[in-house]
Structure formats: C-alpha cells, structure tokens
Amino acid sequence: MKLEEAKRIFEIEVEEFLEWKHRPHKHNFFEIVYVDQGNGYQCINKHEFAYQVGNVFLLPPLDCHSFRIVEKSRFYFIRFTDHYFLHDRSMTDYKDWFDKMSYILANYNKVPGDIIGSTRERAFIAQTIQFIHQEYLQADVYSDAIIMGAMVSILNILARNIEKNYVQQANDLDGRFGEVLRYINTNISDPASLRITELADRFGISPTYFSEYFKKHAGLSLGEYITKSKLKLVETKILHTDLSLKEIAHQLRFTDSSHLSKTFKNTYGMTIKEYKLNNRRVSI
C-alpha cells in the first residue's frame, strides 16, 4: 500500500476521470472531495459508498480510498496537513479550534460517507470550494488569508454534520443517550463534569441506575468509555500535532506521561512510538 504525501501543506486540484487508474492508497494529509460531475462508488477502508453530483467527503489521514467510476466524473480535491493552520500565525485560536475538531475526527469513522444534512449547507460548501479554487489560482497577496477563512467555515460545517450524525445514532438507542455522549466527549478533560452524580443530575437519571443505564447503551462501563474516548484523542494528537506526551497527558488529565503511555499500551498492545511508526510507514 502506497502512502501518498502532499507536495505542499495546502493544495487544490480539479480532475476528471472516465476510469480510476490509481491504486487504492493512503495519505498523510486531510482531503475534502467534492463531486462536481458524474456518479459511481467511493471505497473508504474497504467499504463502498455511492456518490453523485453534490456529494462531499472528508477523508482523514491514513484512510484507504479509491473510486469506481460509473459515469465520467469531475472532482475537486482539497488536500491539507494540520500544519496548514499552524503555518498561519494570525490564527491564534488554532489550538482551541483543533481540540474541538479532534473529537469530531476521532468519531468520523462511525459515520463515514457523505454526511451533509441540509441543501443549504451543501450549496454553501459547493460554492465555497469553487471560490477557493479560483482564489488558489489567482494567488495574490490576500489569497492565503481568504482561503484560510473559507476553509475554517467548511470544516466547521463538516464537523457539525459529523457530530449531528454521530449523536443521532446514539439517540436512536435512547432519546437522550446521544446528548450524554456529546456532553462526555466535549468535557473529556474535566473530571469533575464526568462524575456519575454530575451526569445523573444533568440528564435526570437516578445516580444508582446511571452506571447500569450507560453500560446498557454503550456496551462498556463509563470509566472504560472515558478512557477509550481519551485515547482516541491521543491518537489524533500524536499523529497531527507536535505536542509532547507530557503536554497531551496534561491536557487529557492523565496523571503524567508514564500513566498515558502505560494506558495506551495496555489498550492497544503497542507503545505510542510503535503506533506512530505503524501509521506513518510507507509500504510497497
């Protein structure tokens, strides 16, 4: 499997295909795909999703994907690394924004495929991607800042739709369970907010029943779920930020980096260093 790398920290291309001649591949960058023409199937991690005009896909790094073209297709491909946002020092709130995005990206594979829920949002994304492409080609002194603002808008819409779908899936099990998960994940670094008494009171569930309620719907205990959710964020942070283990451990309220490393190895069966190597290795 080839690992494709972006030539620059941000690039956008428009390509037409009668047939997809590339091998399935992984990449080390984020990719937004907008379908401007045609139809067929996109394969993401061995699962196929039908695509048509207007579809928007978000592909996090290391997802394996390819296309099976049915009708001549034209795609807009926007490719960027996390360093695209770090590169712009005027984006002083990048850390807070990326922390919010980390939760969304960690849960993305639970609702893959096209996830845009409204015609209004879809039209905005389509127009904005086409606008970004024109601005990218114009490339004057203002273009980088204009494109940056447009990209943040697109990603926030994608994040909102990913979260909405993920929460709705949980709500289908129980009318409030999705909101319970949303609250836990958005307060994952605040232990006081995740106490059973606090959660039970917030969602109107008896404290003596909450543990049973949670395990019934999640399939694992509250403590196990919190640890699992934290480690999904650890995955995102170690692959897509330059934070040290000490900083990540502090952000996610592990005792220290040793505690984080031990928890990670016990759960994944490998060290954090091994995990990083496995997910950045190029194999032919």
Q: What is the pLDDT of residue 44?
A: 78
Q: Which residues contact 131 (CB under 8 A, 6 or more apart)?
A: 150
Residues 145-195 have pLDDT tens digits of: 899 889 888 888 888 887 777 777 777 767 788 889 888 888 888 889 999
Give yes or no: residues 42 and 64 share one domain: yes
In one-letter notation, the amino acid at residue 179 is: E
Show the domain range for 113.
Answer: 3-170
* Distance, CA of 207 to CA of 174 (rounded, Å): 18
Q: Are 25 and 64 in contact (CB under 8 A)?
A: yes
Give yes or no: residues 190 and 50 share one domain: no
| pLDDT at 282 > cutoff 50 | no
CA angle 241, 35, 27 (to 5 degrees): 30
Give yes or no: residues 145 and 9 share one domain: yes
Mean pLDDT of the chain: 82
The residue from 141, 170, 199 where one domain ends is: 170
pTM: 0.70
Q: What is the pLDDT of residue 130?
A: 95
Number of structural domains in the chain? 2
Tokens representing residue 7 in the block = 């030539």
User: Residue 138: helix, strand or coil by DSSP?
Assistant: helix
Give yes or no: residues 13 and 93 share one domain: yes
Phi/psi for 107 (5° steps) reads -105, 5
